[in-house]
Amino acid sequence: MLNALEIGTTVIVGLMVGVEFSVAFVINRILNALPDDSNQLGRAHGGRMLGAVMPFWYIGSLVLVAVWAVAGRDHDGVGLVVTAGALLIVSVVMSVLLLVPINNRGKTWTPENRPADWKEQMNRWDRFHYVRVAVIVGAFALLATALA
């Protein structure tokens, strides 16, 4: 049972990393190459869509890692799992304090009501997101290592 939990948790966290990596290095670059109205509308839609799903994915991943750490407390690699959990906590705190406020504003914007500094706000979100991606990649790497 512990083995299934370890593999399932690693897969779920890995998929989350893949989605967030894709947002950072593929989707946002595509959106940035579009005209301003299309870029902003795409980001607003993405913010609404992913903003509805990602909180459950982040918290669910953290819960799974915590269960793994408790269930596997007597096994090798538990320190890696606990450290991965700490990184996921950092990613949740970053999200709540830095990314979600920007996302909540951005997902309501249209070409008619967006603020003059909307691009600067999106660039700030992108910079925070790059750091968050690095943090969750680290968590995923630790989980994958703990499996070995």
What digits encode the pLDDT tens for the residues 31-80?
999 999 999 999 999 999 999 999 999 999 999 999 999 999 999 999 99
104's tokens? 């909540």
Question: What value does the mean pLDDT of the chain take?
Answer: 97
pLDDT value at residue 148 = 84
Torsion angle of alpha carbons 93, 98, 122, 39, nearest 10°? 40
Alpha-carbon gap, residue 35 to 19, rounded angstroms: 24
CA-wise closest residue to 143 among 19, 17, 20 = 17
The answer to whether the beta carbons of residues 5 and 73 sit under 8 Å apart is: no
Provide mean pLDDT across the span 75-96.
Answer: 97
pTM (two decimals): 0.94
CA-wise closest residue to 100 among 32, 51, 49 = 51
